[in-house]
Structure formats: C-alpha cells, structure tokens
Amino acid sequence: MARKDAILQMRQNLVKRRDALRKALAGDLSSLKELSNQSSGDMVDAALDSAQDEINSQLAEVESRELALIEKALERMHAGFYGVCEMCNGKIGVPRLTALPYATLCIDCQREVEREGANSMHDADWGRVIDSSQGDNDLTINEIEMDV
C-alpha cells in the first residue's frame, strides 16, 4: 500500500505543478504580447527588452517541456502504466519517482541509455566533416585548421 499512497501523492503534486506551469506559460505569453505592443524610444532599452524577451522565451520553452512530461506522466497514471519502465517493464522505484515524478525509465535502464549515448559520441569519427556550404565536399580536420 505504501507504493500506491506514494503514487497518489505524486499525482497530486504533478497536477499542482501542471496547473502552475500552465498559468506561468499563459502569463509569459500575455506579457510578451504586451511588450511587443509597446515601443521603446532608446536603443539600449530595446536591447534590454530583447534580452529579457529571449530569457523569457527560453524559460517558457523549459517550462513547456516540463509540462509535456507531466502531462505524459498523468496519462500513464490514467492508463495504469505509471511507475512502469518503458524499456524493461519493471517497476520504477519510489525514490526515483519522488525525485523525478515523470521518469519513464528505471534507474538501470536510464543508466544504460546514458552509457549508450556516451559511447556513440566516442565512436564518432570527428576527423572528417562535411562542409554543406560548399556542396557535399568532405574536409579533414587538418584542412579546417589551416583555414583558421
């Protein structure tokens, strides 16, 4: 019963966080509209406004991604798959779900995914690249270094 109670508590927390993110994102969009309707008379003010808009946009993007993950977790709860690893179908531990309530992989599968990702980066051949601005010409790293 402890796992079920923990999942019910996580659901409440996810719903609260989802609602807060929705409100924050709605506020960000309305404030961006207000900023675009105002005109700045000074170039410095315009630059500062632009920088603030960029920060707000990036924050909204992060919040939007988190909102999507929360909604997916709530859908998995509704379907009865919450807390089940998408790779091995084993249970995701309550401590992991408490730390990351929208986790879809158990800790072992997550480590395996990260290990595979790290290995694929090490296996890449960074000695040759394609210069797409020059057509499909292959370049070696030595040719690039000579241009610099």
**94, 3 contact by CB (below 8 A):** yes
Residue 52 belongs to some domain of the structure: yes
- Enclosing domain of residue 66: 2-79
Residue 115 belongs to some domain of the structure: no
Residue 133 belongs to some domain of the structure: no
Share of the chain above pLDDT 70, in %: 62
pLDDT band at 148 (very low <50, low <70, confident <90, very high): very low
Q: Which helix (H) or strand (E) holds 107?
A: helix 107-123
Question: Into how many domains does the chain fold?
Answer: 1
**76, 34 contact by CB (below 8 A):** no
Q: Is the per-residue pLDDT at 128 higher than 50?
A: yes
Residue 6 belongs to some domain of the structure: yes
Residue 62 belongs to some domain of the structure: yes
Distance between CA 126 and CA 54 in Å, rounded? 32
Residue 112 belongs to some domain of the structure: no
Distance between CA 82 and CA 74 in Å, rounded? 8
Distance between CA 30 and CA 35 in Å, rounded? 9
Give the pTM.
Answer: 0.57
Mean pLDDT check: name the lowest of 37-41, 79-83, 114-118, 137-141. 37-41
Residue 85 belongs to some domain of the structure: no
- The listed range with the strongest mean pLDDT (18-32, 109-123, 128-142) is 109-123
Residue 60's CATH number: 1.20.120.910
Residue 117 belongs to some domain of the structure: no
**116, 122 contact by CB (below 8 A):** no
- And the tokens for 71? 């909604």
Share of the chain above pLDDT 90, in %: 34
